Amino acid sequence: MVLAELGGSIARALARMSNATVVDEKVLADCLNEICRALLQADVRFDTVRDVKANINRIVNLDALAAGTNKRRIIQQAVVDELRRMLDPGKPSFTPSKGKPNVVMFVGLQGSGKTTTCTKYADYHRRKGFNPALVCADTFRAGAFDQLKQNATKAKIPFYGSYTESDPVKIAVEGVDMFMKEKYDLIIVDTSGRHKQEAALFEEMRQVSEATKPDLVIFVMDGSIGQAAFDQAQAFKQSASVGAVIVTKMDGHAKGGGALSAVAATKSPVIFIGTGEHIPDFEVFEVNPFVSRLLGMGDLSGLVNKIQEFMPDNQQMQIMDKLGEGTFTLRLLYEMFQNLQRIGPLGQLVSMIPGFSGQFIEKGNEKEGQAKIKRYMTMMDSMTDAELDGTDPKLMNQSRINRIARGSGRRVEEVVHMLDEYKRIAKVWKKLPVLNNNRRSDMNRD
């Protein structure tokens, strides 16, 4: 089960509970059973699922709740909190800081996506103002240096490696020394992998680590391995003093729920997830926004991060102010579309916007999504200022709709459909309790 399906199943279970005429023990039990089934199908460990259920049952004591309390809201919040707890190892990881050299070493099994992820990590930090460089200390796999070189060249990141030297420790030390002298502040060392966890791999990791004294060791793990993630993460953690984890291949058919919850169970913080083969397919992993997105509630803080990464400073404040205002006008939707086109890739961003996730654009159908946005913007271009800024739905009477259709060369039904979509999204924005509570603090994040 892919993560979107897991989120969809949980959201549907919550919606069914919310729509019940009376919320009683049976409704709660059905809802929890459905959620547990979805978690198990996503490969979350049985023990973890059992704990999630027991904790929610403990928090939501229907008998003890006073009459008039909003049981639906309490159950929803308990489910959201438990999902967050399940994914949260409760321990932040080391983060590189500017103005001093940071050495970060990558470890993982062969094929996990380690080399690709090194470049993604370098590229992400360069956008944050770091000066990164890559060292290829993988002498085990033929072609490893060529691959790193190719990725690094594409991303315009300096690299170091050797076709002839077979000692990974020597290469790692030479590369780190060279880039330190050249004042690079984020030196990323890619190490060898093996097909399975074996003594030779761990010994090599230990030697490279001892010689380069990394500030952080990142373990890269393939997200599609589901339940096996726990053992693998634990083995690496014990052998290489792993400080953080990156879970890759969370696109595709990864049973990502299993991998993420398993890693959290080893008390290792997941810091990023890989969502595709290309360099921008890389997302910061933070538990709270991740759960919000999983349940289709959007992720304002992720959106704000993306805006900060890709947008010039002078435009950032404007859009963030608008996002924080809370009145969702057609003009705001128009501006969101404009920004979406500018900061892509569309797939990632769409799931971060409340009301867009899973509905506005189908995953994997981004071309149609782009075309839809263009169509909507053409229709909005034919609206007056009062129409774009208005919050009164009655303003949009039939003659106005006809005029907009004529002006934009689209059919009347298309305008009506666009307005319906707008109303649906605006309604989601109004109703989001979790996001509304966090909205101001999200806006103030660094």
Q: Which residues bind ligand GDP (CB under 6 A)?
A: 108, 110-116, 147, 193, 248-249, 251-252, 274-277, 281
The residue among 116 and 408 lying less far from ligand GDP, judged by its C-beta, is 116
Minimum distance, C-beta of residue 391 to ligand GDP, in the bound complex (Å): 41
CA distances from 381 to 335, 375, 404, 412, 415 (A): 12, 10, 9, 15, 12
What are 280's two structure tokens? 């921008």
The residue among 248 and 357 lying less far from ligand GDP, judged by its C-beta, is 248
Compute the distance between CA of residue 438 and CA of residue 444 in angstroms, rounded to an integer: 10
Minimum distance, C-beta of residue 138 to ligand GDP, in the bound complex (Å): 7
CA angle centred on 384, ends 383 and 387, rounded to 5°:
80
Amino acid at 109: L
Minimum distance, C-beta of residue 385 to ligand GDP, in the bound complex (Å): 44
The residue among 108 and 258 lying less far from ligand GDP, judged by its C-beta, is 108
The residue among 112 and 131 lying less far from ligand GDP, judged by its C-beta, is 112
Minimum distance, C-beta of residue 45 to ligand GDP, in the bound complex (Å): 23
Contact status, residue 275 vs residue 283, Cβ threshold 8 Å: yes
Minimum distance, C-beta of residue 359 to ligand GDP, in the bound complex (Å): 24
For ligand GDP, which residue has the nearest CB? 274
Minimum distance, C-beta of residue 411 to ligand GDP, in the bound complex (Å): 38
Phi first, then psi: give them for residue 165, nearest 5 degrees: -70, 130
The residue among 7 and 108 lying less far from ligand GDP, judged by its C-beta, is 108
The residue among 248 and 292 lying less far from ligand GDP, judged by its C-beta, is 248
The residue among 124 and 376 lying less far from ligand GDP, judged by its C-beta, is 124
Minimum distance, C-beta of residue 131 to ligand GDP, in the bound complex (Å): 23
